Structure 1
Amino acid sequence: MTEFDARGAAAAGEEIDPGGSEPAAAVIGREAEVDRILRSLDVRDGLPQALLLLGEAGTGKSRLLRVAAETAERRRTRVLPAQGWGSEEPQAFSTLHQLLLPVLGAIDALPEHQRRALRTAFGPAPEAGPPEIQALGAAVLTLLGHLAQACPVLLTVDDLQDCDRASMRVLFFVTRRLTNQAVTVLFTARGEAPPAGVPADLPVLSLGPLSDRASALLLDAQPGAPEGRARLDLLRQAEGNPLAVVELSRAAYGASGPATAGADPRQTARIQQMFAARLGELPEETQRALLYAAASSKEDELVTVMAALGAHDLAVWVRAEEADLITIADGRLAFRNPLIRTAAFHRYAAKLRQQVHRDLAAARGQVPARRAWHLAAAAIGPDEAVATALEEAATQAAQTGDCFASAKALEQAARFSAGVHDRARRLAGALAAASDVGDPEWVRDLYERFTRVNRDPELLCIAACAMSGALSLLSFQREAFDLLLDVWQRTPPSRATTSFALAAVATGISRRSGLPEHRLPLPRLLDHAVRAAQAEKDRCAQQDGFFHELSGPEVLASLEAAVSVGIDPAVRGGSDALRRLTAPPSEPLDGARRLTRLLATASVAHHVDESELCAESYRQAGALRGTRGTLGPRAWTLAAEVDTLVSIGRWAEAEAVIEEGRSAAAVHRLTRVGMDLEALEVTLRALRGETMPDIPFTGPHWRSVSLDENRSTHARMLRACGLTAMVLGDGDRAFRHLRALFGEDGSPLDPFLSPRSISELAAAAQRIGRQQEAARILGDVRERQGARPTTRMTLLMHHAAALVNEDADPEHHFRLALVNPEAEKWPLERARARLHYAIWLRRRRRPLDARVQLTAVLEVAARLDARHLAASARGELRATGVAQAPASADRLAELTAQQQQIARLAANGLSNREIGERLFLSPRTVGSHLYNVYPKLGVSSRHQLRDLLYDR
């Protein structure tokens, strides 16, 4: 439809397609729903199908209906569409006429009385009365059955709530009586509950808000989508409504982004037009009340809004509630669609909107933080009083862990600052808070404004930490490190907290880049920070200002340990540092200081392979982090956290962290973080033994990022590819990928990750006869680990030596890889060593000894759900002479308990998302499980799965 038609339809209450005409945007965030809808089109068994799509305006119901229609047409299904129109609701059978108009020529094949019923309904003769519903329903049923003999038929009815009742009674009559006809009926309706008259047994698919990740991906599909803080504002304002994401992006196109209550007024005409008719029908006092509600925020209570409005009776809201524009519950008012808020606010002139904000600021019971925001919305030009109020609001938000609100308040405070120094100071604070939020584009924008006004060297170091961190998250490791080092060399910080913060950021960048030139300056940065701390201690200086949460001897000592071990765990005494970090603190640590110590502990534990302590420290740190949507320091630790959870066999937790992290990475457009998590997801799938239908690491972000300066990401990708090739039985490709973890001279691509893949490289090398090459790399790894390698590295090197060191006694190394009870901390690595030991024993004609090892392998494989490992162990057991277990009459017995649960729920008709909500899994994880369940059960669809389970 044209833009004029779209606006007119929206004004009439219709739903506008939030996905546009782009196929990529059609199903973003609705993959599970599309799967459920398309399954309803499967009429190969002649089973009747009917489904009602239910959701608020803008949730994408109409688009999903079109996806179903387009798919049906490609399957050579006849599609008969109808659209509900409020203006036609009084006209009986108008919807039915829309549906059957294209096939009225086929009524000649019907019996005379049924032809007469249809003709009377669609054009009654003067002497004829309205047909009976049952007679007309029987005629429609016969007509559809006749059409279905030639090809399947799909009926789609959009906006059921606006259809005439007579047509609906006929259609519900028909859907209840479809028996073996190849006919599907899809309805959509607006709201949270089915319209009156809908049969209780009609299946319902509710469309809720999009996930944060899906909303971000939908926003990315829009032309000229805003970035930085404007992007985060938009996503929060849209509340997961697809139409709101699209329209707010259009409104913000070319502007600085959404303002406090919406986008720039000059660019919201389209949104205003969508709801002009519905808002214009309200009484004047209700329209005015909605203006106050729109100017308020979710934090403003209804009593505060009514105090600003000067109203004392809830009657002012009644018409708006009846029109489904708002809901009132628990003392708060909410708009049913985020776009209604924008339309209700921008319908009025700027002067009146300014007065509304002043009234809200002065309202009785208004909290200081919200008062500051309303004063800012009403202010024009610099106003130090407003800036001070916003800065106080930022402090309060920071204390509650809301880094986003804190950064946004400081950014606005800088805008209203009268003095240049205050503006720079507040921008530096906004930079630090935005860095904790984890949004690089926002940090970049703030940094550009900061550098134009700043004259303070200490503030420059603080800002450089934030900007370098942002560049690192964006994958620009060389630029990030150069910026930090340049600032440090030109204006080294004088405060210990700033010095340690700078050294910590530099160490983090170095670890992600893997570049040798980045490790060289780190000792100087650390030494400078230690001297600054000692100087402050000698002067008994008090810490204040920025990074005050890092002050105190305990916290600075924690940072020193983390940076020191990050530079070189072997040389800097990681085990000693860990003992100091786990000792009881000499002073109480509040939330921020305790979080810093926990993250330092986790970092050191990760480097020295104290995996259980590392995982526990990350878990406790996660409980102390800020509000939803704040990623901050976790963006730097997500990959290490997943690495640790995978290594100790807590794979379900690892999947949850991956899912959460990928969502945050999509929201904040953290390219490198998303790449790390994608590589870890592929790794985990390979460890489970899942084969992937597509080739990983082919997306545009993998082509846009330089892996040379993101070597930790490159190492994770190579390991994932190598393990995937092993599962597929491609030894050559597995060795090629794992061999690339080391240079020609044996130097590791990543100093931490590469050595921990040495046993996997050895297994691949043994498979294709490249033991000598792997043995040379093993020797280099052993030399680099020093005289006191970690327990984990010791076990891995013994395992590798048993496989490729031809001059050593393999059994001696196998025993050393298994005898240490601490090996149980890394169950998969120990199980692999047992498997390879069993293979060696079998080839030495010691089958009984091999069976002992293989039995232990099977137990671990079952516990971890490592199917490829289990299959290898079962194959070796057969080779040792153990008869294969008889085929179980219960094919479900081959599945894990979780897979059995998922299979049963899927057979009952639940979508992947519904299953995930019950089992606390992501829809992607559920789909992955089903992808592997089907071949085990010998089925290829949910219909077959249902038949299999119902036959039991």
Structure 2
Amino acid sequence: MGADRSTVDRSLAATGLIGRQAELTRVLDTVDEGWNRPRTLLLLGEAGAGKSRLLSIAADHARDRGALVLAAQGAEAESRHSFASLHLLLLPVLSDLGGLPDHLRNALEAAFGMAPAQGPVDPMPLRMAVLTLLTDIARGQRLLIAVDDVQHVDRDSLDVLDFVVRRITARGVPVLLAARGLTPPDGVPADAPALPLDPLPPQAAAELLDAQPHPPTGRTRMEVLRQAEGNPLAVIELCRAARADGAGVLHGGGRPRTERLQELYAARLRSLPETTRRLVLHAAASEHEDIATVMAAAGTGTDLAAWAPAEEAGLLTLVDGRVAFRHPLVRAAAYHGAPAHLRQRAHRDLACALTTDPARRAWHLAAACLGEDEAVAAALEDTAELAERRGGFFAAGQALQRSAECSPRAQDRARRYAKALRAANNAGDPGWVRELYDKVSGLTDDRDVLGMVAQGAGMALSLLGHQRQGFQVLMSALEPEPPKDPMTVLALTAMLHAVAFQSGLPEVRRPLAALVEAIGPDGGDTTYTELAMTSTADRVRAGTLAGADPTRAPELLRQQLDRWPTASGPTAQVGDMILVLALGGLAWYADESDLCVESYQRAYAVLTAYGSVGPTRVSRAALASALMDTGRWTQAEEQLEEAATLAAVHKLRHLEIDIAALRVTLDALRGLPAEVPADPAWTAVPLAENRATHARLLRAAGAAAAAQGDFEASFRHMRSLFTEDGTPLHHFLSPRSVADLAAAAQRTGRQQEAARIVEAVRTAVGPRPTARMRLLLHHADALVGDPLEAEHHFRLATVDPAGEQWPLARAQARLHYAQWLRRKRRPLDARPLLAMALETFTRLGAARLAQEARVELRASGAPTGPAQAGPLAELTAQQRQIVRLAAQGLRNKEIAEQLMISPRTVSSHLYQVYPKLGVSNRNQLSGLFQDL
């Protein structure tokens, strides 16, 4: 058997290895299964990817199981010495040579210089000697062979190892090899299975960063993650450098200099010719420039041969007109290994060469700037405005912070720091926001500037779970004297609305409507350029009013669509994206789930392409919920994965828990084993002031209990969504679980108690509820209300065409109606309802509910067949994305641009999935999706 999950988890915990669970499982499987059948594995990856750590863990694992481990590591200094690596590998067992036949022992001793050679070494006896020695050892005990840095193993040793590995693995001896790079080095068995160690995904890289003794925060945290590019060693070294030398070591795209970096790369850099070193320094300083620009700045001409020594040394490669460093730490060592005056000169040279690109020119001038310089500060501010208009909030924030640092006047510093904070907030980094808030607070008493920073600080506090503090910061900027700019007031109020939703506290929501209605028209220039359009400001106002009182949302949405119809074209400018995001929020409150999904996805696509995820933070859980509600569970799963990564990278505490709860809910709906988030999730943020998170946790726990058939526990959790008198725990989220509560109550005989809550919910949602709430209330009334009115309510819950927007809820209502009909001895009336419910549950992948419907249908006398999994079930997540986009009519090139892959990859995936889907061309794909 392969390595079990507990073994892998213990190994990860014991070693601190993060983000390599799948790879470790594969390695341990090779070790364990290799003793029963042929097995070898080649680990590939760049320096610092974790190859040596995995080999070390595997060796310890084998020793714990009583195996003898023969290990060797190739060394560049010994790569010219014949059989040097082979000698190191066999050193622990050389005392066993006496058991070999004389001719084999003589060949091995001669190769190692242990005995005088009687002539040229014959390769075949030597190979047989090693094979025989290892085979004899393997007969008496378990054996593991592990060779690291194969690229530095001498060729003679590799020749023998190639011969031996092909034969000894067939005798049950596992062999692990590791080599630098992404392709097997010469001399390695060509058919050896390879395991590439890709860069860590962002979530794992963030976890590794947080595991360091003194993890950086704020902007420095994001710079470390960005510059490390998912390389574990780079994360560790950059964290260490930031701790030792301060955040300045990461400034302007530069990399830190540490002793370990010098040990890794400085020797190779120093051995380069002077012209090549100059080119490498300019390339390290440029980071984004093409080869022609780098060479023009360095003044070395146009002959690419000048790069050859660096390429031959394995430091970099030239690809598609750009310089690609082999490892993030190569760039670090190249940049910080050079004297300061040469780094400054390199940035000035690059600024001179970039006459047609003001943005990058400004950055190089800033990198060369010592102290304060208003011209540089102004150039960076202009750069930031351009980036922000395009949605590049992180880049804008960096430029504005550096602009503030270069500003001679305090008022300009405060203003630019405030703009940087707003960009950092939009970029999604609450830690960075808090750093900038502290800088601005001590520089100015300008109410508009302080209002701008309060908006960002309030949201940062909210994202960290401190809703009451966020509320206090925002209100301190609005009272007693609000900012003069109406758009600053609107931005503050919109942030207050986000805090009000997450907190669920009536006292936070209460002042919203009055604050919005007191905002005057924009009287001229505003710092909030994204709100400068009347349509955008008007829609943000409407969204905030809907948050203050969700019962107004349907009418507010209707007014907005009448005044500013939704566009179907591309969304490019920030103002347009805010307009679409605000529409998504309005649709969310109005229970127009399809419009909510469409709006959020349109805006997300552009913001994600720019790397500006900040504006999406507060709506991630809403989008995932809307996708689940509308039956797009595959998309919901992908959205939850993206949101989990965002939450981990930026340490968004309540979002992490929200996503975990929604994942449990989705698993429960699918009928999968669903584990409710562990106790720490319930205490990671104060739930008393994070009622939205509390409500999602309770619903997840209730859904998980129902999936396991424990309806007592399900009712207990669902009941906790409401206070003793039936008041919703969360004003918006709790009422949407009223039908689930009623279903659990009907199973446990608690109808009377649930009926009181249904009445309280009906009062809370007002006399004109949304279509969704109307259907849910009818469903709940049918289950726990007056038995004489049950069929009336069931009919109203199942016949309204509006209900098809929420297929799961509609199917559950049909199932419950059919069960009621069967109890009334009307099986013929129940059959069509059960057939429709079964079809929906099967299409969605709700296995438990499908089985329940199948049993009911069989009991009604109708024949049933086995449930058929949806045709998309066996595809990977990426294949499903490709098929969905192709079904929407996009060409391969357009799909490739959206998913950032090659058109050839798109074509290959489509070719592979057509037979699985039972189609022969892309025109037949649209029939597979109900939601296009």
TM-score scaled by structure 1?
Answer: 0.87
Q: State how far apart, in whole Å, the 2-side matches of 1:395 and 1:352 are.
A: 30
Q: Residue 189 of structure 1 aligns to a residue in which SS?
A: strand
1:641-684 superposed Cα distances (whole Å, 9 cap, x missing partner) = 11100000011111111111111222211112222111111111
User: Does the Cα contact within 8 Å between 1:756 and 1:793 map onto a contact in 2?
Assistant: yes
Structure 2 counterpart of 1:309: 298
Structure 2 counterpart of 1:867: 847
Q: State how far apart, in whole Å, the 2-side matches of 1:130 and 1:204 are.
A: 35
Give the paired residue count: 869
User: Does the Cα contact within 8 Å between 1:52 and 1:204 map onto a contact in 2?
Assistant: yes
How far the C-alpha of 1:750 sits from its partner, in A, is 1.0
Which residue, 513, 517, 521 being the options, matches 1:527?
517
User: Does the Cα contact within 8 Å between 1:227 and 1:441 map onto a contact in 2?
Assistant: yes
Within a 5 Å distance, the mapping from 1:485-504 to structure 2 comes to: 485-504=475-494
Instruction: Answer yes or no: is 1:377 the counterpart of 2:385.
Output: no
Q: Supply the RMSD in Å over aligned alpha carbons.
A: 2.7
Instruction: Mark the CA change 1:846 to 1:139 in structure 2 (over 3 Å): closer, same or farther.
Output: farther
Structure 1 counterpart of 2:889: none
- Opposite residue 694 of structure 2, the aligned amino acid is H
Within a 5 Å distance, the mapping from 1:76-475 to structure 2 comes to: 76-106=66-96, 113-129=103-119, 131-178=121-168, 180-254=170-244, 255-260=246-251, 268-298=258-288, 300-312=289-301, 313-363=303-353, 365=355, 367-475=357-465
Q: State how far apart, in whole Å, the 1-side matches of 2:61 and 2:362 are.
A: 52
Structure 2 counterpart of 1:681: 663
User: Does the Cα contact within 8 Å between 1:55 and 1:190 map onto a contact in 2?
Assistant: yes
Greater Cα offset, 139-148 or 320-329: 139-148
- Opposite residue 622 of structure 2, the aligned amino acid is A
How far the C-alpha of 1:348 sits from its partner, in A, is 2.6
Instruction: Mark the CA change 1:74 to 1:582 in structure 2 (over 3 Å): closer, same or farther.
Output: farther
Instruction: Mark the CA change 1:81 to 1:578 in structure 2 (over 3 Å): closer, same or farther.
Output: farther
Structure 1 counterpart of 2:746: 766
1:415-447 superposed Cα distances (whole Å, 9 cap, x missing partner) = 111112211111111111111101001111111
1:556-583 superposed Cα distances (whole Å, 9 cap, x missing partner) = 221221111111121x352343342355
User: Does the Cα contact within 8 Å between 1:326 and 1:336 map onto a contact in 2?
Assistant: yes
How far the C-alpha of 1:397 sits from its partner, in A, is 1.5
Instruction: Mark the CA change 1:215 to 1:447 in structure 2 (over 3 Å): closer, same or farther.
Output: same
Structure 2 counterpart of 1:931: none
Q: State how far apart, in whole Å, the 2-side matches of 1:284 and 1:875 are.
A: 80
- Opposite residue 389 of structure 2, the aligned amino acid is Q
Which residue, 619, 622, 625 being the options, matches 1:640?
622
- Opposite residue 279 of structure 1, the aligned amino acid is L
Q: State how far apart, in whole Å, the 1-side matches of 2:463 and 2:452 are.
A: 17
User: Does the Cα contact within 8 Å between 1:507 and 1:522 map onto a contact in 2?
Assistant: yes
Structure 1 counterpart of 2:918: none
Instruction: Answer yes or no: is 1:630 the counterpart of 2:616.
Output: no
Structure 1 counterpart of 2:886: none
How far the C-alpha of 1:349 sits from its partner, in A, is 2.4
Q: State how far apart, in whole Å, the 1-side matches of 2:255 and 2:133 are.
A: 54
Greater Cα offset, 34-43 or 310-319: 34-43
1:100-149 superposed Cα distances (whole Å, 9 cap, x missing partner) = 33334555555555445444444552254465444333343344444444
Give identity over the alignment, percent.
49
Within a 5 Å distance, the mapping from 1:587-626 to structure 2 comes to: 591-625=573-607
Q: State how far apart, in whole Å, the 1-side matches of 2:531 and 2:112 are.
A: 78
Which residue, 638, 645, 648 being the options, matches 1:666?
648
- Opposite residue 357 of structure 1, the aligned amino acid is H
Q: State how far apart, in whole Å, the 1-side matches of 2:869 and 2:358 are.
A: 57
Instruction: Mark the CA change 1:560 to 1:366 in structure 2 (over 3 Å): closer, same or farther.
Output: closer
Instruction: Mark the CA change 1:819 to 1:24 in structure 2 (over 3 Å): closer, same or farther.
Output: farther
Structure 2 counterpart of 1:924: none
User: Does the Cα contact within 8 Å between 2:587 and 2:596 map onto a contact in 1?
Assistant: yes
How far the C-alpha of 1:613 sits from its partner, in A, is 0.9
Instruction: Mark the CA change 1:211 to 1:610 in structure 2 (over 3 Å): closer, same or farther.
Output: same
Which residue, 740, 747, 764 being the options, matches 2:720?
740
Q: State how far apart, in whole Å, the 2-side matches of 1:853 and 1:498 are.
A: 54
1:703-734 superposed Cα distances (whole Å, 9 cap, x missing partner) = 33101111101111111111111111222221
Structure 2, unmatched stretches of 5+, are 1-8, 880-895, 901-932
Q: State how far apart, in whole Å, the 1-side matches of 2:753 and 2:640 are.
A: 34
- Opposite residue 825 of structure 2, the aligned amino acid is R
User: Does the Cα contact within 8 Å between 2:389 and 2:573 map onto a contact in 1?
Assistant: no
User: Does the Cα contact within 8 Å between 1:304 and 1:365 map onto a contact in 2?
Assistant: no
How far the C-alpha of 1:316 sits from its partner, in A, is 2.1
Q: Residue 52 of structure 1 aligns to a residue in which SS?
A: strand
Q: Residue 247 of structure 2 aligns to a residue in which SS?
A: coil
How far the C-alpha of 1:584 sits from its partner, in A, is 4.3
Instruction: Answer yes or no: is 1:845 the counterpart of 2:835.
Output: no
Q: State how far apart, in whole Å, the 2-side matches of 1:513 and 1:500 are.
A: 20
Q: Residue 695 of structure 2 aligns to a residue in which SS?
A: helix
Q: State how far apart, in whole Å, the 2-side matches of 1:447 and 1:49 are.
A: 57
Q: Residue 275 of structure 1 aligns to a residue in which SS?
A: helix
Q: State how far apart, in whole Å, the 2-side matches of 1:819 and 1:46 are.
A: 61
- Opposite residue 247 of structure 2, the aligned amino acid is S
Within a 5 Å distance, the mapping from 1:555-574 to structure 2 comes to: 555-570=536-551, 572=552, 574=554
- Opposite residue 400 of structure 1, the aligned amino acid is R
User: Does the Cα contact within 8 Å between 1:262 and 1:342 map onto a contact in 2?
Assistant: no
How far the C-alpha of 1:546 sits from its partner, in A, is 0.8
1:156-213 superposed Cα distances (whole Å, 9 cap, x missing partner) = 1100011122222222222323465221111111112211122321211112222222
How far the C-alpha of 1:78 sits from its partner, in A, is 3.3
Greater Cα offset, 373-382 or 622-631: 622-631
Q: State how far apart, in whole Å, the 2-side matches of 1:62 and 1:567 are.
A: 56
User: Does the Cα contact within 8 Å between 2:661 and 2:676 map onto a contact in 1?
Assistant: no
Structure 1 counterpart of 2:558: 578
User: Does the Cα contact within 8 Å between 2:45 and 2:198 map onto a contact in 1?
Assistant: yes
Greater Cα offset, 545-554 or 499-508: 545-554
Q: Residue 258 of structure 1 aligns to a residue in which SS?
A: helix
Q: State how far apart, in whole Å, the 2-side matches of 1:489 and 1:462 are.
A: 14
Structure 1, unmatched stretches of 5+, are 1-18, 887-892, 906-916, 922-952
Q: State how far apart, in whole Å, the 1-side matches of 2:68 and 2:689 are.
A: 55
Within a 5 Å distance, the mapping from 1:877-888 to structure 2 comes to: 877-881=857-861
Structure 1 counterpart of 2:673: 691
Q: Residue 625 of structure 1 aligns to a residue in which SS?
A: helix
- Opposite residue 175 of structure 1, the aligned amino acid is V
- Opposite residue 328 of structure 2, the aligned amino acid is P
Instruction: Answer yes or no: is 1:810 the counterpart of 2:790.
Output: yes
Instruction: Mark the CA change 1:503 to 1:634 in structure 2 (over 3 Å): closer, same or farther.
Output: same
Structure 1 counterpart of 2:698: 718
Instruction: Mark the CA change 1:883 to 1:73 in structure 2 (over 3 Å): closer, same or farther.
Output: farther
Q: Residue 43 of structure 1 aligns to a residue in which SS?
A: helix
Q: Residue 621 of structure 1 aligns to a residue in which SS?
A: helix
Q: State how far apart, in whole Å, the 2-side matches of 1:833 and 1:152 are.
A: 61
How far the C-alpha of 1:351 sits from its partner, in A, is 2.5
Instruction: Mark the CA change 1:470 to 1:877 in structure 2 (over 3 Å): closer, same or farther.
Output: same
User: Does the Cα contact within 8 Å between 1:403 and 1:626 map onto a contact in 2?
Assistant: no
User: Does the Cα contact within 8 Å between 1:801 and 1:810 map onto a contact in 2?
Assistant: yes
1:838-890 superposed Cα distances (whole Å, 9 cap, x missing partner) = 2223333333333322222221122111111122223333444557758xxxx
- Opposite residue 657 of structure 2, the aligned amino acid is M
TM-score scaled by structure 2?
Answer: 0.88
Instruction: Answer yes or no: is 1:548 the counterpart of 2:529.
Output: yes
Within a 5 Å distance, the mapping from 1:511-526 to structure 2 comes to: 511-526=501-516
